[in-house]
Each structure stands twice: as C-alpha cells, then as structure tokens.
Amino acid sequence: MAFTNGIAWFFMILPKAVIIHSLIDARMALSHRRPVTLLSAAAAALYAGCAWWFSLVRAAQTDYPSLLDCADAPGRAVEALKMGLKGIVLQCEPELFAAVAELAQLHGAILLPVAPPALDLAERGAARKLASWLEG
C-alpha cells in the first residue's frame, strides 16, 4: 500500500505524460511550451530499442523527463541505464526490479513499475486534445 501511494505521489510531481512515437511527436508535445514527460509506447525498448529512444530524446533537446517502457525486460532496462537514459518503466518480478532499482539509483535515474497516465499521440484526435491535456 505504501509503495502504491508512493507511485501515485510520484505521478503527481511528474509533468503530464505524452506517448510519442517519433521526433515529430516529441516536437509537437514540446511546442506547447508546457512541462511534459515524454513517454515511449508500451514495450518500445523491445521492438524499437534503447538506442532509438536515446537518439529521439537527444534530438528533441528537452530537459523534461522522458521514460522508456522496457515492459518485462530487465536486461533492456539495464542497457538503457548504461546508455545514460534517466527514466525507465519496468514491470517485472520484484527481485529483478529491486536489482535494477539499485542500478537506477547509482545512475541517478527514475525507475517506475508502471507508466503514468498519458495521452497517446498515435490515437485519433490526440493532437487536438494535446493543449488541454498538458494544461489540465
């Protein structure tokens, strides 16, 4: 229960999250000049890779948080941390999560067991909803 409350609190301090799929999406999310958390699609580390996300976030040139969803793959989360990524979503067994959490702490990174609520820019009409999502 305390852990769940801690995650809810963390979601309250993170800027609103937007799921992006490309640099165009990232630029759209950032163009509103509102704080935003850039979030990859679910399991993106498994099919697009950590290097893709690293390059995308770097090209977006943002100081806001970004989170790569590693699904249930702690190896991908470790790879992402070693590349220098500072935000990971990982849904795996508690023992493995704890081991990755120690590494994340050493790297000064955020590790979450679930992704925050987010607006997915791939959804129909999401671009029209973006401004109100970020302001709300």
pLDDT tens profile 37-48: 999 999 999 999
121 vs 22: CA distance, rounded Å: 10
76 vs 100: CA distance, rounded Å: 10
Tokens of 74: 């702690």
Tokens of 29: 């999310």
Cβ atoms of 29 and 40 closer than 8 Å: no
Tokens 């040139």: give the residue. 61
CATH number at residue 127: 3.20.20.70
pLDDT tens profile 82-121: 999 999 999 999 999 999 999 999 999 999 999 999 999 9
Tokens of 118: 């987010």
| Domain that includes residue 128, residue range | 2-135
Q: pTM surpassing 0.75? A: yes
Tally of domains in the chain: 1
